[in-house]
Amino acid sequence: MKITAKLLSKILNGTIEGDPEAVVFGPSKIEEGKPGTISFLSNPKYESYAYTTEASILLVAKDFQAQKPVKPTLIRVLDVYASVAKLLEYFGEGKPSWRGIDEQAFIDPKAEIGEEVSVGKFSIISKSAKIGKGSVIYPQVFIDERVEIGENCILYPGAKIYRDTQIGNACILHANVVVGSDGFGFAPQQDGHYKKIPQIGKVIIEDEVEIGANTVIDRATMGATIIRKGVKLDNLIQIAHNVEIGAHTAIAAQAGIAGSTKIGEKCLIGGQAGFVGHIEIANGTKVQAQSGINKAIKEENTAIYGSPAMPYNDYLRSYAIFRRLPDLSRQVAELKKEIAALKK
Amino acid sequence: MKITAKLLSKILNGTIEGDPEAVVFGPSKIEEGKPGTISFLSNPKYESYAYTTEASILLVAKDFQAQKPVKPTLIRVLDVYASVAKLLEYFGEGKPSWRGIDEQAFIDPKAEIGEEVSVGKFSIISKSAKIGKGSVIYPQVFIDERVEIGENCILYPGAKIYRDTQIGNACILHANVVVGSDGFGFAPQQDGHYKKIPQIGKVIIEDEVEIGANTVIDRATMGATIIRKGVKLDNLIQIAHNVEIGAHTAIAAQAGIAGSTKIGEKCLIGGQAGFVGHIEIANGTKVQAQSGINKAIKEENTAIYGSPAMPYNDYLRSYAIFRRLPDLSRQVAELKKEIAALKK
Amino acid sequence: MKITAKLLSKILNGTIEGDPEAVVFGPSKIEEGKPGTISFLSNPKYESYAYTTEASILLVAKDFQAQKPVKPTLIRVLDVYASVAKLLEYFGEGKPSWRGIDEQAFIDPKAEIGEEVSVGKFSIISKSAKIGKGSVIYPQVFIDERVEIGENCILYPGAKIYRDTQIGNACILHANVVVGSDGFGFAPQQDGHYKKIPQIGKVIIEDEVEIGANTVIDRATMGATIIRKGVKLDNLIQIAHNVEIGAHTAIAAQAGIAGSTKIGEKCLIGGQAGFVGHIEIANGTKVQAQSGINKAIKEENTAIYGSPAMPYNDYLRSYAIFRRLPDLSRQVAELKKEIAALKK
């Protein structure tokens, strides 16, 4: 990558302020920007760095109003993140250099492969599976029978997709993700043994879902485990059988959702949070990291914390007293003595 | 699948009540049953749905006593779950359509492969490994040297089994499970560096164990990490070196057991629970999700909760007060004032 | 393995006390040592077993002073763990029996492979990747473009390394580890949708780092996620984008570190602990298992516990009162009544 501000602004349909001949070789964080790099200002929290960064070019929003002098050449664009993505595409970064169906991939003759699909080495597309146009299946991926994957998806190496799973368009599944494994369903027998309950449902993942590395989504016992449109799942998350995650909900790493629980739309779930099974969580619920949610949340847009979880501010208030419980306990002992003295 | 009640009852050795010519095309959940589907009633909790379901056929236990009129044709069977499993097998569901040793699998000439074993593409069976009769090794599985796997096991894609691991009969290992990785053992040196302690033990998994996707079981430092008969492990669980899990214990997702801890038989461990190392947990212990167990549990069949864990009901009682700690704190402040006034 | 004490002491450059003709067939734990086995005494905690073990040979430190009679033949060595490692190497244990580049591995013509490198079946070394001298890449590993791996590393089966990752010398990555997956970065849009923030940074792993099975380390948004020299990570850990882990820090299983957090050197992090993003943790901090750390720790060498975390001893003291909160609450109610009586 070596490019002038002038050419960049053309690619990004932006407007230049400063030296159009400024040259950059690669990207940098705004707070660490060095000469010869391009930085981005999108989050207003970082605005102060715009006035100190040593980057040669700074990508900013069209309506950015500098409060102080800015040293780099500015390129104003409509959407900073989209511009970064466009730049990366332009330079071919973030995409594999290989294309097409590798000779060492296995595609079952009864699989349906769309146009411009790429399938990497040692990947398997099983019988009656369908891969939509433009999707990229990295190496060492397993796509079982009757799995349907939409258009423009990316499945990173080692992803394993069990039979009958349905995945929408523009989904990204990171390395070693597992989708469609058996739900954890066992019927306890009188002698204490467990009998496996057949897991004959499936998993449905709608459009624009991203799933982090090593996350697991179990198939339904019957029916479907459903991940709605635009959901973002971080790494190492557990989604049990028959769970439904509402559209545009984001869940941080290592959270776990037990069987048949239904999470609303546009929720924000912190890392390592856990939900018991068979409850419903209202739209817009915010769950603090490590919380344990053991009953339904019916009111929308509330924030909860604790294990078991309670309203966020209530938890903080209770925990503030928890921190000084020894003192409270001492006070009570003191009062006891004083009352005993008074009673004499 | 398209089948009459009459034929179904023959396959399942059941008895019909209602129209023997009722036809079904597939399964459904009892609470969502539609005409043309077969539903199952096994858990008595769902009995009410038996009277409202639209399913055409309903599979029930031999001794099921309807309290109200039932619309679907009933088929009475000895064991509902076993019947469902039998049905699925009959229709070839839940089993891969491929069979035998794939040409693109690698089987070391010194490996021992039983009769009717299937090994999928890009799987590896290393030197001196043994695979018992009827076991199915899905694609992209790694079986290292001297691993022994019993009869009728299923290893899903991406499972990685380190050297010397022993697995019994009728075990199921889901995708990307790791068994036999090195225990987390390091000797701190005087300068603060760590020196790796060689992990030369192994893992022994007895019969009828099921292990969820992306779960990890470390090999012992010396001796063996042992998973006893009938244990059921959910997804993303951590079993450290030299742990022993007693027979017929079930552990929910994302729980973690630290080194050398011994869990009893028929325990029920909730999700995201954690155990410190070197403790023993009595048979039949119930551990609430997210609990942290930091000392031995000696009495059998108790329930525990909290971090650190305490008796289940004690935790709930203490937590009930925790929720209103600010109020308790206010009361104490109030009493202080009143006593001060009394003392004047 | 079948070997005399005499030969063993020669291999290990040790000195014998007892019968030089004592023969052993394999290793055993000191507390379970049986005739015909060799045990090791390294941790002084286990010294009492030295006087009761039935092992035929016991490996001890040069300066070990027996307080009672010892039955096995002793071999005194400078470093017990190093001797065990040497023994294992001598007997060819712990190393794959295969060597070299397997015919069924794929090595891109533009990859650089050092001397004495081994690459297993169905592994992929992509364009412009570099593998240093003596490193062992097990089967089914994926090394993406421009990844650099140092000398004498071991990557176990199923490890997936995304593009541009840098790994130092003598690192061990266990099965199904993922390094370099996209950070969890999304910009919320006004309509509640998320837009993916391109993750164009990388991961740098320094020398002598060990990473447990199924652990995930995300690439930086920009810049690098950094794992410093000698860090030991257990299984199923989440390291988010732009995190830095200081040298010689050890982290137990299932812990999670959110984005941009910087952990100091020589810290000890318990299992299932969680850190919020954008905080700094001082060198030598000890974090109890399951703790939730939500603010910076500035003082070095402190111990913390709780969620949110507080000083270790303060948490224990507060939790001791928490356990008897119902009693405290009753006492307060009692005092209230007594005061009311006094006021009359």
Of the two residues B266 and C31, the one the predictor is more confident about is B266
Contact B286, B273 (CB under 8 A): no
Confidence bin at C42 (pLDDT 50/70/90): confident
Q: What are phi and psi of B31, to 5 degrees?
A: -80, -10
B81 close contact with A: CB closer than 8 A? yes
Q: Closest by alpha carbon to A269, among A246, A251, A283?
A: A251
pLDDT at A94 over 60: no
User: Which of A100-109, A307-316, B325-334, C91-100 bottoms out in mean pLDDT, i.e. has the lowest?
Assistant: C91-100
Burial of C99 (0-12, 13-18, 19+ CB in 10 A): exposed
Measured CA to CA, the distance from residue A61 to residue C47 in angstroms comes to 68
| Confidence at residue C2, expressed as pLDDT on a 0 to 100 scale | 82
Q: Looking at chain B, which residue has its C-alpha nearest residue C170?
A: B196
Measured CA to CA, the distance from residue B309 to residue B297 in angstroms comes to 10
Kindly report, residue by residue over C122-134, the tens digit of the pLDDT: 999 999 999 999 9
| Confidence at residue C264, expressed as pLDDT on a 0 to 100 scale | 98
Contact B332 C336 (CB under 8 A): no
Kindly report, residue by residue over B237-257, the tens digit of the pLDDT: 999 999 999 999 999 999 999
pLDDT at A80 over 80: yes
Contact B244, C244 (CB under 8 A): no
Query: What contacts A168, CB < 8 A, 6 or more positions away?
Result: A150, A205, A206, A207, A208, A209, A229
Q: Closest by alpha carbon to C237, among C265, C264, C201, C209?
A: C209
| Confidence at residue B183, expressed as pLDDT on a 0 to 100 scale | 96
C140 close contact with A: CB closer than 8 A? yes
Q: Is the dihedral of CA B260, C273, B264, B203 positive or negative?
A: negative
Give the number of C-alpha atoms closer than 13 A to the C-alpha of residue A66, restricted to the C-beta side.
17
CATH for C3-90, options being 3.30.70.20, 3.40.1390.10, 3.30.420.130, 3.40.50.970: 3.40.1390.10
Q: What are phi and psi of C59, to 5 degrees?
A: -90, 125
Closest CA of chain B from A105, distance in Å: 10
Longest dimension (CA), chain B: 96
* Superfamily for the B106-316 domain: Hexapeptide repeat proteins (2.160.10.10)
ipTM above 0.85, yes or no: yes
For the entire predicted model, the pTM comes to 0.93
Of all residues in chain C, the percent with pLDDT exceeding 90 is: 81
Confidence bin at C43 (pLDDT 50/70/90): confident
pLDDT at C161 over 90: yes
First to last CA, chain C: 89
Report the helix count and the strand count for chain A, using DSSP H and E. Answer: 5, 39
| Confidence at residue A77, expressed as pLDDT on a 0 to 100 scale | 94
A291 close contact with C: CB closer than 8 A? no
Q: What is the DSSP letter of B50?
A: H
Confidence bin at C241 (pLDDT 50/70/90): very high
Contact A32, A43 (CB under 8 A): no
Catalytic residue chosen out of the listed positions C174, C193, C241, C278: C241
Contact A162 B156 (CB under 8 A): yes
pLDDT at C322 over 80: yes
Closest CA of chain B from A140, distance in Å: 7
| Confidence at residue B115, expressed as pLDDT on a 0 to 100 scale | 97
pLDDT at A174 over 60: yes
Structural Rg of chain B based on CA atoms: 26
Contact B27 A258 (CB under 8 A): no
* Mutation for A interface: C108, C137, C145, C160, most A CBs within 10 A: C160
Within 177-196 of B, beta carbons closer than 8 Å to C belong to 178, 181-182, 184, 186-187, 192-196
Mean pLDDT of chain A: 94
**Can you tell me the mean pLDDT for C190-203?**
90
**Can you tell me the mean pLDDT for C337-344?**
89
Of the two residues B21 and B32, the one the predictor is more confident about is B21
| Confidence at residue B200, expressed as pLDDT on a 0 to 100 scale | 87
A42 close contact with B: CB closer than 8 A? no
Q: Which residues pair with A101 in a beta bridge?
A: A119
pLDDT at A95 over 80: no
Query: Among A158-162, A219-223, C219-223, which range has the highest average pLDDT?
Result: A158-162
Domain spans of chain A, in order of start:
3-90, 106-316
pLDDT at B321 over 60: yes
Kindly report, residue by residue over C89-101, the tens digit of the pLDDT: 676 665 677 889 9
Q: Closest by alpha carbon to C174, among C126, C202, C141?
A: C141
Burial of B307 (0-12, 13-18, 19+ CB in 10 A): buried
Q: Closest by alpha carbon to A236, among C235, C232, B12, C133?
A: C235
**Can you tell me the mean pLDDT for B230-234?**
98
Closest CA of chain A from B328, distance in Å: 9
* Chain C residues within an 8 Å CB radius of A97: 127, 145
pLDDT at C158 over 80: yes
Contact A223 B250 (CB under 8 A): no
Backbone region of residue A260 per phi and psi (left: phi > 0; alpha: psi in -120 to 50; beta: other values): left
**Can you tell me the mean pLDDT for B216-227?**
95
Kindly report, residue by residue over B94-145, the tens digit of the pLDDT: 567 788 999 999 999 999 999 999 999 999 999 999 999 999 999 999 999 9
| Confidence at residue C92, expressed as pLDDT on a 0 to 100 scale | 60
pLDDT at C223 over 90: no
pLDDT at C88 over 80: no
Contact A34, A55 (CB under 8 A): yes
User: Could you count the other beta carbons within 10 Å of the beta carbon of residue A69?
Assistant: 6
Confidence bin at A235 (pLDDT 50/70/90): very high
Contact A156 C181 (CB under 8 A): yes
C340 close contact with A: CB closer than 8 A? no
Of the two residues B165 and B195, the one the predictor is more confident about is B165
| Confidence at residue C27, expressed as pLDDT on a 0 to 100 scale | 80
The angle that helices B325-343 and B312-323 make with each other, rounded to 10 degrees, is 60
**Can you tell me the mean pLDDT for B303-329?**
97
Contact A212 C214 (CB under 8 A): no
Q: Which residues pair with C23 in a beta bridge?
A: C4
| Confidence at residue C1, expressed as pLDDT on a 0 to 100 scale | 63
Within 243-272 of C, beta carbons closer than 8 Å to B belong to 248, 250, 252-254, 265-266, 271-272
User: Which of A158-167, B300-309, C22-31 bottoms out in mean pLDDT, i.e. has the lowest?
Assistant: C22-31
Q: How many CB pairs under 8 A join B and C?
A: 181
| Confidence at residue C26, expressed as pLDDT on a 0 to 100 scale | 80
C241 is catalytic: yes
* Beta-sheet pairing, C309-311 with C303-306: antiparallel
Within 144-173 of C, beta carbons closer than 8 Å to B belong to 156-158, 172
| Confidence at residue B303, expressed as pLDDT on a 0 to 100 scale | 98
Measured CA to CA, the distance from residue B281 to residue B275 in angstroms comes to 10
pLDDT at B268 over 60: yes
Contact C338, C331 (CB under 8 A): no
* Beta-sheet pairing, A15-17 with A73-77: antiparallel
B102 close contact with C: CB closer than 8 A? no
Q: Is the dihedral of CA B245, B247, B252, B253 positive or negative?
A: positive
